[in-house]
């Protein structure tokens, strides 16, 4: 299965500082690479049948890392020439 670079841009709303640090640490542990020149932007190498499948897997991975903390996540994902995906997810305590 091919590997795609997925670009993710996230906004964390109403999250406690300690919780955000925990999420960011867990993202690094799970293969998200911080892009230092753009705030709140990461790249993840993700296998997929196509670019859309890779984006869906990267989004699901990020949601799984975030769901243990109560806050709202706004996310934009892009890979290659496929359509940019926008997601909004609110996590409850």
Indicate which CATH number applies to the domain containing 23: 3.30.70
Percentage of the chain with pLDDT > 70? 100
- Give the per-residue pLDDT at 83: 87
Residue carrying the six token digits 């890779």: 54
- Number of structural domains the chain divides into: 1
pLDDT band (50, 70, 90) for residue 56:
very high
pLDDT band (50, 70, 90) for residue 5:
very high
d(CA 7, CA 81): 12
Instruction: Write out the residue range of the structural domain in which residue 8 sits.
Output: 3-91
Distances (CA, A) of 14 to 9, 44, 63, 71: 17, 25, 16, 5
Average pLDDT over residues 71-90: 93
pTM, rounded to two decimals: 0.89
pLDDT band (50, 70, 90) for residue 93:
confident
């Amino acid at each position: 299965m091919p590997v795609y670079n997925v670009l993710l841009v996230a906004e964390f709303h109403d999250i406690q500082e300690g919780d955000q640090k925990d999420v960011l640490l867990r993202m690094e542990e799970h293969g998200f690479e911080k892009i230092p020149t753009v705030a709140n932007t990461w790249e993840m190498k993700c296998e997929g049948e196509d670019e859309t499948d890779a984006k869906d897997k990267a989004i699901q991975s990020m949601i799984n890392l975030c769901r243990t903390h109560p806050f709202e996540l706004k996310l934009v994902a892009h890979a290659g020439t496929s359509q940019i995906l926008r997601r909004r997810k609110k996590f409850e305590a």
